[in-house]
């Protein structure tokens, strides 16, 4: 099942990142370029780095200039994340290119890659909630609350994993068909964000 592979690779990427716990540490992806494994690992690495950037920007003592710098990095990370999700969907579009949907086949509310995106974020929530249950400086009530949340997250991963595998099987069998709409984010595009293109014209 693909979900099992996803969860194993996501857990590996998160563990690998935390060997260094350094936002600037370069990715060490050992999977073959272009493989689905390589894409999944890179996807989760981006998510992991961004998780920690989101922590940094919430520091109440942060200086405005430093906060803006983190915001710019997060914006780029979000674009990289979106690009990776679309590359994963391209992989599935190619995999199912010879599949012919049955008459009456239905369209799912989200593509396989965007469901896998949620599974990657869920792996991060599980990792960090587990860390909270091990804190030596936290009281028993905090540990108990985090343990209860962890159990919910673990069940959520079971359910989401099953849903992803079912979606892929439904597409493979022709009961559902795959259709991808690109995100077309406008605010990062200097030709589509009026603040960017109007400032460019002003500078010129």
- 88-119 pLDDT, tens digit per residue, is 999 999 999 999 999 999 999 999 999 999 99
Q: Quick one: average pLDDT of 155-176?
A: 97
Question: What is 136-171 written as a DSSP string?
Answer: TTS-HHHHHHHHHHHHHHHHHHHHHHHHHHHHHHHH
Rounded Cα distance between 16 and 28, Å, is 8
Mean pLDDT calculated for residue range 163-171:
97
CB neighbour burial string for 102-117, b if at least 16 within 10 angstroms, e if fewer? eeebeebeebbbbbbb
The answer to whether 184 touches 178, Cβ cutoff 8 Å, is no
- Tokens 């693909």 belong to residue: 2
**Is 177 contained in some domain?**
yes
- Please state, in angstroms and rounded to a whole number, the distance separating the CA atoms of residues 187 and 174: 37
Residue 90 to residue 82: CA distance in whole angstroms: 12
What are 22-31's pLDDT values in tens digits?
999 999 999 9
- Does residue 97 sit within a domain? yes
pLDDT band for position 200 (50/70/90)? low
pLDDT at 133 over 80: yes
Secondary structure letter of residue 107 according to DSSP: E
Is residue 149 packed enough to be buried (19+ CB in 10 Å), middle (13-18) or exposed (0-12)?
middle
> pTM of the full predicted structure?
0.91
Does residue 195 lie in a domain region? no
Q: Give the closest residue to 36 by CA, choosing from 88, 93, 96.
A: 88
Q: Residue 120 in contact with residue 44, Cβ under 8 Å? A: yes
Domain that residue 130 falls in: 2-190
Quick check: helix, strand or coil at residue 5? helix
Residue 98 lies in a domain: yes
Domain count along the chain = 1
Structural domain contains residue 201:
no
> 108 lies in a domain?
yes
Please report whether residue 198 resides in a domain.
no
125 has pLDDT over 80: yes
One-letter-per-residue 3-state SS of 40-66: HHHHHHHHHHHHHHHHHHCCCCCCHHH
* In a domain? residue 74: yes
């Amino acid at each position: 099942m693909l979900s099992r592979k996803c969860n194993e690779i996501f857990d590996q990427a998160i563990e690998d990142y935390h060997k260094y716990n350094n936002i600037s540490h370069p990715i060490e992806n050992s999977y073959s370029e272009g493989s689905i494994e390589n894409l999944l690992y890179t996807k989760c690495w981006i998510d992991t780095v961004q998780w920690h950037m989101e922590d940094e920007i919430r520091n109440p003592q942060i200086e405005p200039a430093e906060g803006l710098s983190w915001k710019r990095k997060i914006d780029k990370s979000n674009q990289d994340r979106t690009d990776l999700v679309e590359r994963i969907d391209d992989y599935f579009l190619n995999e199912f290119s010879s599949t012919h949907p049955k008459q009456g086949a239905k369209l799912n509310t989200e593509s396989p890659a965007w469901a896998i995106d949620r599974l990657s974020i869920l792996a991060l929530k599980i990792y960090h909630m587990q860390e909270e249950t091990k804190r030596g400086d936290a009281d028993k009530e905090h540990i108990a609350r985090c343990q209860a949340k962890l159990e919910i997250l673990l069940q959520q991963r079971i359910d989401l994993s099953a849903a992803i595998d079912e979606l892929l099987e439904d597409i493979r069998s022709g009961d559902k068909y795959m259709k991808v709409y690109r995100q077309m984010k406008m605010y990062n595009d200097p030709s589509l964000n009026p603040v960017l293109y109007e400032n460019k014209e002003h500078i010129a």
